[in-house]
A and B are shown apart, each in its own frame.
Chain A
């Protein structure tokens, strides 16, 4: 168990439990590296990585870039906004042009589901999916599970509820795969309009009542309402959504236990989560961001060692 079973990280679905364990174990070592006064190791000094983002991102792009630089890789950044994509260049052409500059690995974010999988069939570089449409966001799920493992000592047997916009969320899908693979029980909770039709076929239970879901769980992962992906009205008003599916101090204090609160960011303060909850000790939101760098270092290190 010292090698990943895959050449690309396209989604959690394509991984095995041993891959997740290896990534977590490697991330533990990188976390220690990140606590040193010099937070950099020379492992990837002969690797070049292109971060190709066809969609806006702050946290994920920064986190990837920092992880790559901490590993001493050479990094080039590409955002669709300022590029020839505007002039009608296709995805394969764009990427092949970048690869002809001798790039070994591509970190790809794309608005269309399956973009990474498509690309992996057509180019030679190792692909890391940094979010493809409403499909998967594997490194987010890895860092979420890693943060649960860190806070609660393990993921197996824990009860996790994912709350909010399940329909448009790649974080939800990747989280469901990762948590189930690690032996956690998963429920999803949100308005019926934001629930995918066949979500139960993934082996998760659906709960429409937030209070019941919170009473059941150990961890609540609060998703962001993705206004930019909503092409129609899924609920009457934001205020009504907040009333039913937002969490605040009062609701948390009325539970008879202390649950862990997560959020993949960016937070809509006062919508899915109030400020006093987001900034409380129960919340591990900033730990998630911190762990993101170590997890991405682990993923890139393990994938890069398969590049010959």
Chain B
């Protein structure tokens, strides 16, 4: 198994700021917008972006939620393991809101498909956008594309993109792992 660094901590920091600015450009005051991080691994990126928007661009009071998609996945009973869930914390209505879904890696698009279904349980959003840190090109199973992307990556099926966060893994780095 070998791994190579796709993004260093410095690069991640720059990308986080760029993504925050792009969000600002489109949402400005966030008065009608909500940020929703996908459980489990999209929540780190979502919290980071929220922090940047709070601390460096002084946007306060952005409604922020975490969405678990386990019960909406299309691979139930298709793997060896039981799919175990994480918690969903959405304590606001998404009715009519502009929702930004946030996940770390966009690969086949199936998680996002599940998230779109899951989100309907909380109302009918005005619009839904997708933000991902890594966009794995040419590997989509569904017609889903990000509105905001950190970095586009070409990787083959046998390779895996691993996103590490300081608060969880001790460092901010993105690796490409090949077996």
Binding site for B on A (CB under 8 A): 2-4, 22, 25-26, 28-29, 32-33, 36-44, 46, 71, 301-302, 304-308
- Give Cα distance in the complex from A32 to B71, angstroms: 12
> Within B73-94, which residues are at the interface with A (CB < 8 Å)?
73, 76-77, 81-88
Q: Nearest-CB distance from A239 to chain B (Å)?
A: 50
Closest to A33 in B: B71
- Give Cα distance in the complex from A25 to B85, angstroms: 9
User: Is B121 among interface residues, defined by CB-CB distance under 8 A?
Assistant: yes
How many residues of chain B are within 8 Å of chain A by beta carbon?
20
- Please determine whether A304 and B77 come into contact, CB atoms closer than 8 angstroms: yes
In order of increasing CB-CB distance, the 5 nearest A-B pairs are: A41-B71, A38-B121, A2-B84, A305-B82, A29-B85
- Please determine whether B82 and A43 come into contact, CB atoms closer than 8 angstroms: no
- Give Cα distance in the complex from A4 to B71, angstroms: 17
Q: Beyond A38-B122, A42-B72, list 18 extra A-B contacts (CB 8 Å).
A: A2-B81, A2-B82, A2-B84, A22-B84, A28-B87, A29-B70, A33-B121, A36-B121, A38-B121, A40-B121, A43-B73, A71-B71, A301-B71, A304-B76, A304-B77, A305-B76, A306-B82, A307-B77
Q: Is the contact region of chain B dominated by helix, strand, or loop, or is it mixed?
A: loop
List A contacts of B117 (CB < 8 A): 42
Q: B117-140 vs A: 1/0 string, CB under 8 Å?
A: 100111100000000000000000
- Give Cα distance in the complex from A147 to B38, angstroms: 29
Closest to A29 in B: B85
- Give Cα distance in the complex from A175 to B94, angstroms: 41
Q: Nearest-CB distance from A109 to chain B (Å)?
A: 26
- Please determine whether A44 and B76 come into contact, CB atoms closer than 8 angstroms: yes
Residue among A3, A28, A41 facing the most chain B CB atoms (10 A cut-off):
A41
